[in-house]
C-alpha cells in the first residue's frame, strides 16, 4: 500500500506540477507583451510631461524695444524660440532640398532648423543686414550634417530672385521644397501715412517676390514637390494699422489656393500657414507700435504670443509626403484666435 500511495502521490505531484507549468506558459506571453514586443528605445523613454500651453512661453507685458528694419532675433528680449534646443527630427524629409526665404529668423528660421533635423539640405535667403542671425541658422543646419546655403539679397529685385533660385538649385543639387516666408510689415495709423515707397516695398517683398521665385523654381520642381506660403491671420481679420501688409497676406492665401488647383495636375502640392501673433523681429522693427508691442499676444485666448518653434511642425507636415492629400489648404496657428 505504501508503494501504491507513493506512486499515487507521485502522479498527483506530476499532474499538479504540469498544470502549474502549463498555466505559467499560458501566462508568459501575456506577461511578456509589456516588454518583449516593445522597441528598445520605447522601453527606456520616460512619459512626456504634459505642458500647459498658457505658461509654456513668455506672456505680456513686454518691455518696449525698437530696432531698425529688418531687425535681429538675437537682439530681442526675450529672444524668440525657433526650436534651436527643442526640435527633434526623425528623418521625415531625408534627402529633400529646400529653399526658404526669410530663413534667418521667425517662422523661416524655425522651418530651416526643423527641415535640417528631418534630413533635408536647406538654402536660406535673407537681407544682408540680417547676417548675424543667418549665420547662426547655417551653423545649426551644418551641425546636422546637412548642406546649409546662405544666399543674402533683396527680394524686391526680379533679377536677384531668378539668381536666388538658380544658386539654390546649383548648391543643393536640385530643389523640391520652396517656402515663401519673407515679409515686410510696417505699422501705419492711417492710409495717409503710407507713402508710395512704403507701399511699393511691401508689395514687392510680399507679393512680387513669391511670384518671381515660383516662376523660376517651377521648371525644377518634379511631382511630389511642395510649395508653402506664409500667410497670416491678417488675411482674415486685418488690423487697422496694417493696411498694406494685411492686403499682401490675403493675396498669399489666394495664390496658394489658385496655384494648388493649377499645379495639381503636375503632382505639386501648394499650401499655406497662417500664424497669429508670433514673437519675431517684425514686431520690434516697425511692425507694431510700442504700446501694442508691450501687450503683444495678450488678446489671444492663450494670453500670449506664439513662438516660431510652435509652427515648425506645421511646415514639416506640409513638406512631408505623408500629407500627400493636402493641397490648397491654409493651416492656422494663432493661440485660439484667427479664422483659418
Catalytic (active-site) positions: 245
What pairing do the DSSP bridges indicate for beta strands 269-275 and 97-101?
Answer: unpaired
Query: CA-CA distance, 154 to 58, in Å (whole number)?
Result: 32
Query: CA-CA distance, 215 to 60, in Å (whole number)?
Result: 41
301-340 b/e (C-beta count within 10 Å ≥ 16 → b): ebebbbbbbbbbbbbbebbbeebeebbbbbbbbbbebbeb
Query: CA-CA distance, 212 to 196, in Å (whole number)?
Result: 21
Query: CA-CA distance, 65 to 85, in Å (whole number)?
Result: 25
Q: CA-CA distances (angstroms) from residue 96 to 93, 121, 199, 213, 311?
A: 6, 6, 36, 18, 19
56-86 b/e (C-beta count within 10 Å ≥ 16 → b): ebbbeebeeeeeebbbbbeebeeebbbbeee
Query: CA-CA distance, 251 to 32, in Å (whole number)?
Result: 57
- Sign of the Cα torsion 10, 12, 14, 17 reads negative
The alpha carbon of residue 189 and the mean position of all alpha carbons in its chain are separated, in whole angstroms, by 31
Alpha-carbon Rg of the chain, whole angstroms? 27
Phi, psi dihedral angles at 295 (to 5 degrees):
-110, 15
- Concatenating the DSSP letter of every residue in 64-128 gives P----TT--GGG-SSPPP-STTT----STTTT-EEEEETTTSHHHHHHHHHHHHTT-EEEEEE-G
Amino acid at each position: 500500500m505504501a508503494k501504491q500511495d507513493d506512486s499515487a502521490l507521485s502522479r498527483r505531484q506530476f499532474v499538479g506540477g504540469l498544470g502549474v507549468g502549463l498555466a505559467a506558459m499560458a501566462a508568459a506571453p501575456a506577461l511578456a507583451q509589456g516588454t518583449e514586443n516593445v522597441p528598445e528605445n520605447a522601453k527606456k523613454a520616460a512619459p512626456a510631461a504634459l505642458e500647459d500651453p498658457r505658461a509654456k512661453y513668455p506672456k505680456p507685458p513686454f518691455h518696449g524695444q525698437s530696432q531698425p528694419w529688418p531687425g535681429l532675433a538675437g537682439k530681442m528680449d526675450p529672444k524668440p524660440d525657433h526650436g534651436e534646443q527643442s526640435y527633434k527630427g526623425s528623418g521625415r524629409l531625408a534627402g529633400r532640398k529646400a529653399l526658404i526665404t526669410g530663413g534667418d529668423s521667425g517662422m523661416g528660421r524655425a522651418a530651416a532648423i526643423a527641415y535640417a533635423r528631418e534630413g533635408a539640405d536647406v538654402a536660406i535667403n535673407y537681407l544682408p543686414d540680417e547676417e548675424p542671425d543667418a549665420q547662426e541658422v547655417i551653423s545649426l543646419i551644418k551641425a546636422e550634417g546637412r548642406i546649409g546655403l546662405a544666399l543674402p539679397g533683396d527680394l524686391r529685385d526680379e533679377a536677384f530672385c531668378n539668381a536666388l533660385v538658380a544658386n539654390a538649385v546649383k548648391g543643393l543639387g536640385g530643389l523640391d521644397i520652396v517656402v515663401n516666408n519673407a515679409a515686410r510689415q510696417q505699422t501705419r495709423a492711417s492710409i495717409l501715412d503710407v507713402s508710395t515707397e512704403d507701399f511699393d516695398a511691401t508689395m514687392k517683398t510680399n507679393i512680387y517676390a513669391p511670384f518671381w521665385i515660383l516662376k523660376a523654381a517651377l521648371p525644377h520642381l518634379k511631382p511630389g514637390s511642395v510649395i508653402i506660403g506664409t500667410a497670416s491671420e491678417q488675411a482674415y481679420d486685418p488690423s487697422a494699422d496694417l493696411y498694406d501688409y494685411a492686403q499682401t497676406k490675403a493675396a498669399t492665401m489666394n495664390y496658394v489656393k489658385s496655384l494648388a488647383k493649377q499645379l495639381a495636375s503636375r503632382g505639386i502640392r501648394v499650401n499655406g500657414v497662417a500664424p497669429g501673433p508670433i514673437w519675431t523681429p517684425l514686431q520690434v522693427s516697425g511692425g507694431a507700435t510700442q504700446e501694442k508691442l508691450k501687450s503683444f499676444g495678450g488678446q489671444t485666448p492663450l494670453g500670449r504670443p506664439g513662438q516660431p518653434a510652435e509652427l515648425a511642425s506645421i511646415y514639416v507636415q506640409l513638406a512631408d509626403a505623408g500629407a500627400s492629400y493636402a493641397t490648397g489648404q491654409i493651416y492656422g496657428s494663432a493661440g485660439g484666435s484667427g479664422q483659418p
